Homo-oligomer: A and B are copies of this chain.
Amino acid sequence: MDTTQRTEQQRSADRRRRELLEAADRVVLRDGPQASMNAIAAEAGITKPILYRHFGDKSGLYAALAKRHTDALLNSLRAALDAPADRRERVEATLDTYLAAIEARPQVYRFLMHPAEGGQTADQGFDVGKHSVPLLRRMGEELATVIEERLDLGPGGQQLARVWGHGIVGMMHAAGDWWLGERPCSRAELVRSLADLLWGRLAAAGDKMGGPGF
């Protein structure tokens, strides 16, 4: 039958695809986001055109590769977010999960976050945030839906949740990026500080000199 044959070929193609992705993964883990198509093809034991047949484009391969890690990370985050604990604990667990992930595999993290996608072709003119940094966007949207599902924010709550989702993810990301570079404190301390920030300690803190401090 055509169908069985097709599925057979499909399976074979999928297996190859997975193998190629794993090779790409290894190279990225070794070389960071500058991993070249040549290097990836060599690691996979083949040559460039096959890569292009499978993924069409460098950004295609990037997208496929990113999806794997993004899905994995998002699953961990969802687990932390859905744990049966109070809100503060869940927030801290989520922050810690994210930070542990970027701490464990900084090269992958960097590949996902700073893909350096701008080559010489395409991408012309004002596509801020179209294909860029898709992980941050997905995380932001995900968090937004969780916030909107769980919290009672009154009218306009949906939009508020989206702003907060992207804002909190950005906070987590920037603080994590900085922390990963300088390592000024332990992960637990960082988590506590960020949770404190989200818990309004910024607004609650007293002024230091003169003025209307209490």
| A181 touches B (CB below 8 Å) | yes
Q: What CA separation (Å) do A152 and B206 show in the bound complex? A: 5
Number of identical protomers: 2
Interface size class of A (residues with CB under 8 A): 35 or more
| A177 touches B (CB below 8 Å) | yes
| A106 touches B (CB below 8 Å) | yes
| A73 touches B (CB below 8 Å) | no
The answer to whether A106 touches B126 (Cβ under 8 A) is: yes
Q: Which chain B positions have C-beta within 8 A of A200? A: 198-201, 203-204
Contact surface of A with B, Cβ cutoff 8 Å? 31-34, 36, 86-88, 106-107, 109-110, 114, 116-120, 123-126, 128-130, 132-133, 136-137, 140, 147, 149-153, 159-160, 162-164, 166-175, 177-182, 184-185, 189-190, 193-194, 196-209, 212-213
